[in-house]
Structure 1
Amino acid sequence: MLESVHFGPDACERISSDAIKALAYCCPRLRRLWMSGVKEVNGDAINALVEHCRKLKDVGFIESDNIDEVALGNLNSVKFLSVAGTRNLKWGSAAQVLSRLPCLVCLDISRTDVNLSAITRFLSSSQNLKVVCALNCRVFEGEVDSNPMQSHKGKVLLTFLNDIFKGVTSLFADNSKNVTDVLQYWRRTKNRDKNLDEIVVWIEWIFSYSLLRIAENNLKELDDFWLTQGAAVLLSLLRSSQEEVQERAATAIATFVVIDDENATVDCQRAEAILRGDGIRLLLDLARSCQEGLQSEAAKAIANLSIDSKVAKAVAESGGINILANLAKSINRLVAEEAAGGLWNLSVGDDHKGAIAEAGGIKALVDLIFKWSSNTDGLLEHATGALANLGADEKCSMEVAVAGGIHALAILLALANLKECKSRLLVPWLIWLLMGIAIAIMLLLDKRQVHWKHWCNLLILKMKL
């Protein structure tokens, strides 16, 4: 029978409390339940889990609008609990009931409006609690004094006010005190303690969730955190044995380096922090994975990081162009789209155009247009943008034409005239691609007057769109 249920990270707004009750009735052996974005989790739903799922050990109700905090106090079998990102909790009541849970070992209250009083109660009153994770809790951070709490009676408090790795290190024996990446130290340790093993696996899981959500919010006041701690934590999570953790870490990296989506602007300090931490090698290793979710998110991270010229050079030198060219041939649209985006960013300037052509990138990009010519504006924009950049090079423009670029261009021109074409950004890249192919044809025929009026008329037509 079903033992683990995980809905997310996208919001599960349509899941009701009645649905949770039905799940409890049908899955008495349930040990792990994680749900993101459920609007309301009422007392009846929680009590149904208590009554029917006696082995329930790990619960996450995250990003919810309303949870019955008193009923949470009935989850007597639960060792790991997360209410991260949940709104409207009454923390006085929550602290009172949750601190009495007999089996609770780890509690995640990140991105909530929890206050200092509630956290103090958790640390002082919970019998078996070992870890409280309170990342980006603004009310608490505003109340705590200049000497923030790191631990209390053997309990570890993980916040942005403290060194996160140092906090996790305090769970281990003394021989880990000088370790830079305590999570990697734990992964390499033989004969690991089973109970500690469960705790660190949970810490990786909730770190990956919270850092992704925090990256999506792009808060200016967290600039220092990303440079001093956040980038290092994400790099460590890329090494996790949990694929879901690796995938969310890659997504978070792709997200936190971009500070302006519209103008494709990255924070060079953040990008180069990933570069210095061997992040390019780690991401390229994930891009080689057979798991398509990892391929897609790793390719997206590589693409965004490659906007920075130093990172682009490192990607090229590490064999990244060949990897992206191969991923662009994927039958999975999302993988192909992110790979095309990576080739687009790497094709800016003249440094990597030849390498993209040698890796078969031009043929792969042209084939994408044939394969995904409908309802895939993002993919077509990436492929067309990359081909337009490549077409600015004389040799590459010839290869675009030879690879079927003229036929692909005809498809794109027809698509650009259709009302259902959502991306107006496709048009300017079409103009550049058109110019590149026009030049290639004229060079190929060695007749610079051939059809020149025809090409000009097409250009003028597209500029009017």
Structure 2
Amino acid sequence: MSGVKEINGDAINALAEHCRKLKDVGFVESDNIDEVALGNLNSVKFLSVAGTRNLKWGSAAQVLSRLPCMVCLDISRTDVNLSAITRFLSSSQNLKVLCALNCPVFEGEVDSNTMQSHKGRVLLTFLNGIFKGVTSLFADNSKNVTDVLQYWRRTKNRDKNLDEIVVWIEWVFSYSLLRIAENNLKELDDFWLTQGAAVLLSLLRSSQEEVQERAATAVASFVVIDDENSAVDCQRAEAILRGDGIRLLLDLARSCQEGLQSEAAKAIANLSIDSKVAKAVAESGGINILANLAKSMNRLVAEEAAGGLLNLSVGDDHKEHATGALANLGADEKCSMEVAVAGGIHALAMLARTCKFEGVQEQAARALAKLAAHGDSNSNNAAIGQEAGALEALVQEAAGALWNLSFDDKNREAIAAAGGVEALV
């Protein structure tokens, strides 16, 4: 349950009474939770209170550490303190994993060198390295791998109990990293470059579609540092590029699951603001993939894909191809609307007016012409008329077409007979 403002004791007690085999539950992003009632969830193995505010950690630690079946606890993005975490690690009966990502109070109190693990229990924090903590769950032959989650996915004859734990870890990592990416705190810049990007790349490889989708959304969010000016952090974008993230995202964009398509397309669009990433997307067949997605019946998928093509049309190496794809999309009325919603009219007018590459100017003008070709059935006509440089581009496109046709004597006569000369003058 996410975002429930208050979770009172009656609700938790009813859950405990009527769901006696409940194994996994999350009360996340809540303002208040009755921490005493949590002690009645005797069957729960996996519990998350991530992002919850106003918990009384003294009593919460005392109650939760007595839960007989609890194996994994997520207290990420809370104001938990060192005393409570010490209590969890020292007193919990069966606890194996305690996840405490981005807990500022605790991080300000603790010496990272002294909080590796306790009695075989694993503490996952930003301080001691996320992957390093997960690695300690495995046998020695995983110590040298760079992506411990991928190591686990490829392992044969896996331990069933450990499987459950790692599946849960993927879930809580994807959820917390998404929330952290959305907040985009300046003080976490170093984390994203040293740990966060690598974890997101690993989560994109997950077998859980929900985890993949959240990871793609997090990539789309964490790379943007200024929404208003469409500015991205090039170091973060290129960290995704170096980690084979473009291939992973393009693979997800080809998924049959529309949520994955939309979030992958959004991530590709945002990453493509960086010129190096845009080049990699184009060289990996991304323009064709996005062009196909822009024809989707799902509005969100189509809009994100159109936005990706617009960002790709800025790059010098692939302007003409991407702009041509937009022109082709403009021939379809529905797609033309998605291109317009994504900011296509302004972008195409800018390309037609200022781009130094003749082929791109022609493609941009052709795209504008197709966006305007649907008469009164949509609002593109009016929008194009109001966009500086758009009408001039259309006139130049028409003039250029007539000029090319006029090299043939018969065409020249036909153009004159049809009033083409007067129209151009």
For normalisation by structure 1, the TM-score amounts to: 0.70
Secondary structure in structure 2 of the residue aligned to 1:81 = strand
Post-superposition offset of 1:410: 14
Secondary structure in structure 2 of the residue aligned to 1:337 = helix
Partner of 1:386: 325
Structure 1's 348 and 406: CA in aligned 2 closer, same or farther, altered over 3 A?
Answer: closer
Partners of 1:234 and 1:462 lie apart in 2 by 61
Post-superposition offset of 1:350: 3.6
Which of 194, 200, 204 is residue 238 of structure 1 equivalent to? 204
* TM-align CA RMSD: 6.0
Secondary structure in structure 1 of the residue aligned to 2:195 = helix
Post-superposition offset of 1:464: 26
Alpha-carbon contact 2:57-2:80 (below 8 Å) kept: yes
The one-character-per-residue Cα deviations of 1:61-120 (angstroms, maximum 9, x if unpaired) are 000011000000110000000000000000000000000000000000000000000000
Structure 1's 233 and 463: CA in aligned 2 closer, same or farther, altered over 3 A?
Answer: farther
Alpha-carbon contact 2:58-2:84 (below 8 Å) kept: yes
Gaps of 5+ in 2: 352-366, 372-402, 404-420
Partners of 2:77 and 2:342 lie apart in 1 by 50
Matching of residues 335-414 of structure 1 within 5 Å:
335-352=301-318
Post-superposition offset of 1:255: 0.2
Structure 1's 339 and 392: CA in aligned 2 closer, same or farther, altered over 3 A?
Answer: closer
Alpha-carbon contact 2:112-2:128 (below 8 Å) kept: no
Partners of 1:132 and 1:464 lie apart in 2 by 74
Runs of 4+ aligned structure 1 residues displaced above 6 Å come to 381-386, 388-412, 414-418, 461-465
Post-superposition offset of 1:147: 2.0
Q: Does 1:102 align with 2:55?
A: no
Alpha-carbon contact 2:258-2:301 (below 8 Å) kept: yes
Partners of 1:80 and 1:58 lie apart in 2 by 5
Post-superposition offset of 1:148: 4.3
For normalisation by structure 2, the TM-score amounts to: 0.76
Partners of 1:98 and 1:229 lie apart in 2 by 29
Post-superposition offset of 1:163: 1.2
Secondary structure in structure 1 of the residue aligned to 2:123 = strand
Alpha-carbon contact 1:108-1:133 (below 8 Å) kept: yes
Which of 157, 175, 193 is residue 123 of structure 2 equivalent to? 157
Partners of 2:74 and 2:341 lie apart in 1 by 57
Alpha-carbon contact 1:62-1:83 (below 8 Å) kept: yes
Partners of 1:111 and 1:402 lie apart in 2 by 35
Partners of 2:237 and 2:261 lie apart in 1 by 19
Alpha-carbon contact 1:340-1:386 (below 8 Å) kept: no
Count of residues in correspondence between the two structures: 361
Post-superposition offset of 1:462: 26
Alpha-carbon contact 1:275-1:311 (below 8 Å) kept: yes
Q: Does 1:417 align with 2:362?
A: no
Post-superposition offset of 1:394: 23
Larger radius of gyration: 2
The one-character-per-residue Cα deviations of 1:399-429 (angstroms, maximum 9, x if unpaired) are 99999999999999x99999xxxxxxxxxxx
Partners of 2:81 and 2:130 lie apart in 1 by 19
Structure 1's 397 and 217: CA in aligned 2 closer, same or farther, altered over 3 A?
Answer: closer
Post-superposition offset of 1:145: 2.0
Structure 1's 402 and 94: CA in aligned 2 closer, same or farther, altered over 3 A?
Answer: closer
Alpha-carbon contact 2:178-2:218 (below 8 Å) kept: yes
Partners of 1:221 and 1:72 lie apart in 2 by 33
Alpha-carbon contact 2:304-2:342 (below 8 Å) kept: no
Structure 1's 385 and 78: CA in aligned 2 closer, same or farther, altered over 3 A?
Answer: farther
Partners of 1:257 and 1:463 lie apart in 2 by 49
The one-character-per-residue Cα deviations of 1:139-167 (angstroms, maximum 9, x if unpaired) are 00010125241111100000010111110
Post-superposition offset of 1:308: 0.2
Structure 1's 397 and 328: CA in aligned 2 closer, same or farther, altered over 3 A?
Answer: closer
Post-superposition offset of 1:391: 12
